[in-house]
Amino acid sequence: MHLKDTTTGEIMKALAELLHDVGGTSSLALNLVALTTEDEREEVEQAASEAAQEHPYRLIMVIPRDTDAVEPRIDAEVTLGERLGAAEAIILRLDGPATAHVSSIVLPMLAPDIPVVTWWLLDPVRYGLEQELRSFADRRITYSARATDPVESLYRRAVTYVGGDTDICWTRITLWRSLIASAFDGVSAEVRGIDIAADRQDPSAQLMAAWLHTRLGVEPRIVDTDVERNSEHLPAIASVAFTMANGETMEIERKADGETVLRQAGMPKRRQLLQGRTLGQLLAEELRHIDPDTAYKHVLDTFREHHEPAEASA
């Protein structure tokens, strides 16, 4: 159902009519408020549809459109199921002053008594909405890799962190962290050095270094590397190598085709596939956890403490 130059009341009336047509209110797990652009709308819809298979929710997609328009305007599309799967969906296109008042527009649309998650596929600083979308959310998901300066965007996330914040760049290294943790099963030697071959401008690589520093007490060295990936949602990490106090080494290397090899002294090579997940799979993983991610907080603190912001280095 498409509504032109509409109001919040008319949008909610349209949603109520659609729900009535299918026999009542659907069972929702959470509200998901997504900030995106028109160019990224299709990607967001695909990811939301995939994640909704695990988490039925009310999706409110906010697309700032003509921010310079004099008059505020709201155009909306209201759907139930259809291309967005197991979700109620309200797609908002905002013009003019309406783009600066997202909270007052979105709040009346939220389903009551369930958690609210905000998801920024784009950098919220670009539209001055960083605090605007924080005000009503239980959990906030960003994707620093999509910012103009990804590492500085991650640093902003670290400086302004509040409980409930997380970033898709952290989710991207879940499989790497699991692989490294399993490689250390049975290893008793102390780690003396860590080299990470990775794109230094990838926030996931920075978070990997901070995570290893937090867990092992050794500050890794990131060796800037041009990493070939078969998915943008993979971290730009080619290998992680450890030097032990006894002189032995251990290395985990991921090749461009996804084959990952663990080389460890005195043991045969271990191989497995480490492929990139879809944006929907990454989003679904984040939506499984509504409580604050304390591990991410500790890692983000370590990153912040050791990162030299651009202003300081200029």
Together in a domain, 57 and 143:
yes
Q: Among 142, 167, 192, where does a domain finish? A: 167
Confidence class for position 33, pLDDT limits 50, 70, 90: very high
Clarify whether residues 28 and 161 are in a common domain. yes
Could you tell me which residues come within 8 angstroms of residue 207 by beta carbon, excluding any fewer than 6 positions away?
154, 167, 169, 170, 173, 299, 300, 303
Residue 141 counted as domain residue:
yes
Total structural domains within the chain: 2
Asked if 228 and 132 sit in the same domain, the reply is: no
Of 13-17, 19-23, 34-38, 122-126, minimum mean pLDDT range: 122-126
Is the pLDDT reported for residue 147 higher than 90?
no
Residue 80 confidence (pLDDT)? 85
Kindly give the pairing relationship between strand 259-264 and strand 249-254: antiparallel
Please state the rounded mean pLDDT for residues 222-240: 92
Report residue 26's pLDDT band, with 50, 70 and 90 as the boundaries.
low
Task: Please give the average per-residue pLDDT across 200-223, as a whole number.
Answer: 96
For 82, residues 6+ apart whose C-beta sits below 8 A from its C-beta are none
Domain end, chosen from 150, 167, 184, is at 167
Indicate if 125 and 29 belong to the same structural domain.
Answer: yes
Which one is predicted more confidently, 53 or 131?
Answer: 53
Q: Do 11 and 75 belong together in one domain?
A: yes
pLDDT digits (tens, 9 = 90+) for 180-201: 998 888 788 899 999 999 999 9
Taking the CA atoms of residue 42, residue 48, residue 52 and residue 58 in that order, the dihedral angle to the nearest 10 degrees is -100
Q: How far apart are CA 91 and CA 106, in angstroms?
A: 11
102 is a domain residue = yes
| Lowest pLDDT segment from 151-165, 253-267, 282-296 | 253-267
pTM of the full structure = 0.90
Task: Point out the least confidently predicted range of 39-53, 75-89, 180-194.
Answer: 75-89
Together in a domain, 197 and 246? yes
> Which of 145, 167, 189 is where one domain is finished?
167
Separation between Cα atoms, residue 179 and residue 160, nearest integer Å: 30
Range 251-259 average pLDDT: 89
In the predicted model, is pLDDT for residue 313 greater than 60?
A: no
pLDDT tens-digit readout, 106-139: 999 999 999 999 998 766 666 666 666 677 889 9
Same domain, 184 and 160: no
Q: Which domain holds residue 150?
A: 2-167
Q: How many angstroms separate the CA atoms of 103 and 299, rounded?
A: 30
Specify whether 157 is located in the same domain as 187: no
pLDDT, position 314: 29
pLDDT for residue 43 is more than 50: yes
Average pLDDT, the chain: 88
Say which residues have a Cβ less than 8 Å from residue 314's Cβ, sequence separation at least 6: none
